[in-house]
Amino acid sequence: MIELVTAGLAGLQQAGIKVYYEGKEVGNYFADILAANKIIVEVKAGKGEIIKEHELQLSNYLKAANYEIGLILHFGEKPTLKRIIFSNDYK
């Protein structure tokens, strides 16, 4: 969050995001960070690296919400980043 603010970008921690199924609101989930009201950021930490389950989790969030861009930030022995895009045109 400090880096986002330093870069002049807005960000919310534990941002509530409405989840939809077939156009109907079915619940909420809380993103680790919602950056610039456009990007879902999921923060991971620990040994290893970004795994398929992390990617699937973020892909599911993007499919169920009105956001198209997601980032996974993994802070481990070797910090890594993965960008996932899911166009609203396919929802």
- Partners of 70 in the β-ladder: 40, 84
Q: Which of 44, 36, 28 is nearest to 12 (CA)?
A: 36
pLDDT category of residue 91 using cuts at 50, 70 and 90: low
pTM as predicted: 0.83
Instruction: Could you please state the CATH topology (level 3) that the domain comprising 2-90 is classified under.
Output: Lambda Exonuclease; Chain A (3.90.320)
Q: Which two tokens stand for residue 54?
A: 């992390």
pLDDT digits (tens, 9 = 90+) for 11-60: 889 999 988 888 899 999 899 999 988 999 999 998 889 999 999 999 99
Buried b (16+ CB within 10 A) or exposed e, 5-25: eeeeeebbeebebebeeeeee
